[in-house]
Amino acid sequence: MRLLLTSSLALFFSVAAFAQVDGDPLYAHVVKSNETFYAWRPFYSSSTEPERWRKDYLWPLYTQKGFKDETYGRVLFFGYSTDFSSETERDRNWVIPFYFQGTSAQGEDYLAIFPFGGTIYEFLSRDKVTFVLFPVWYTSDINEVHSWTVLWPLISSAKGDKVDRFRVLPFYGRNTLEGEFEKKYYAWPILSTVEYTNDRNPGGGFILVPFYGQIKTEKADNYWVIPPFFRYMASEEQWIVHAPWPFVQLADGVMKKRTFWPFYGKKELGTLSRQYMIWPILWNNTTAYAHHEQRRKKVVPFFHYQADVVTKAVKEYETGDVMSRYWKLWPLMSWERNAEKSRFRTLELWPLRNTPGIERNWAPWWTLYRRVNVEGEIGHHVLWGIYRQKKSPEHFEWSLLKGLAGYKNTENNRRYRFLFMWFGGEKEQP
């Protein structure tokens, strides 16, 4: 019995060793250069590379990862733990939004239990947050600005270097940044006023909802009728018309915009161009980079296409060359190519592109067929490895039922496989 068990395990791992090359759904153990990947999917996976490591336990249930001497843990999407550099005592253990405990970067211990009370450091872009029976009392610090709130968000005040804010919602509010602006509202959102005090573009005005508004500055004039629905803005660099917002939005200048929501819309600003038809179904987006242009098309949620097209010759690419291309017909199939590598696979049950946790732990289970081309070596993987094939100019190999039958032909060697055993050997030389 022990001999039979040992032989069975040896047989399994020898089969698994071949399976790892093609991404066997249950077991994988891959070593490439300085990187190692090991998995028993979907229960556990581990990946390591220089100075980095990651472990998944039934992802996304629990994940651990590390960089140098820092470690990070996550339970689903609300539990977090972090041990930072060993040179400091900084750490945190959070169960959002109920429990917060840790040590700040300054070495101060903290504890908070929501909504009862406590203090949290480095939370929601705040340096420090303190609350008691939230929303009854709440304070926060950002750099030199200290704010307090009673019955959040109704009554609040903030003061700091050049900053002065106060509000009693919805009756009155004031926001002042010295040397920049002073904004006020009365009976929000009925009446709002603003005065710009900076030298770059001084001016001011008001908006009285739902009747009329105007803000005039040195560089631009803004007018609203039945705000926020009808707007006209004009400056030397830009004009904007809303008639009415959000259904008709027109703009020209630094930003170009044509929106007839929900039927058609297009916006161009800087390096980004976004276009839709029948919102939010059809999208056509373009982003310009230094040497290439990224073009993306979507039919939400079923089709996604992306191509990176060279706009300036660089290295081995000429203008107009496609550096990479990707498309997905969800949930059926996807194809992608990058340089000398390409991959086609079906099925594609996850709607997003190459989510790392999905790729490591789940995608191999629903991948019924995959074709991979790496610099001319073409591999086929069918039904979780029941049939596999690899072919290149110097090599041809196939396997059925993970070794029940197979064949391997190289330049100097030809072998056959039957019942997981190899037969044959070196070819006769002419």
Please tell me the predicted confidence (pLDDT) of residue 428. 58
Joined together, the tokens standing for residue 16 give 């698994």
Predicted local confidence at residue 372, as pLDDT = 95
Distance CA 388, CA 314 (A): 37
Domain boundaries, the chain: 262-318
pLDDT for position 430: 54
Question: pLDDT, tens digit, for every residue of 186-211?
Answer: 999 999 999 999 999 999 999 999 99
Give the separation between CA 342 and CA 123, rounded to whole angstroms: 42
Query: pLDDT (tens digit, 9 = 90+) per residue, 374-387?
Result: 988 999 999 998 99
Q: What percent of the chain has pLDDT over 70?
A: 93
Residue 9 has pLDDT above 90, yes or no: no
- pLDDT surpasses 90 at 278: yes
Q: Percentage of residues in the chain with pLDDT exceeding 90?
A: 80
Lowest average pLDDT, out of 92-96, 132-136, 291-295, 424-428, goes to 424-428
- What gap in Å lies between CA 24 and CA 401, rounded to an integer? 12
Which H/E stretch holds residue 185? strand 181-186
At 20 the pLDDT is 37
Burial of 356 (0-12, 13-18, 19+ CB in 10 A): exposed
Residues 249-273: tens digit of each pLDDT: 999 999 999 999 999 999 999 999 9
Determine the average pLDDT of the residues in 8-24: 41
Under the banding of pLDDT at 50, 70 and 90, the label for residue 421 is: confident
Q: pLDDT at position 32, please?
A: 86
Label the pairing between strands 163-168 and 44-49. Answer: unpaired
Quote the pTM value.
0.82
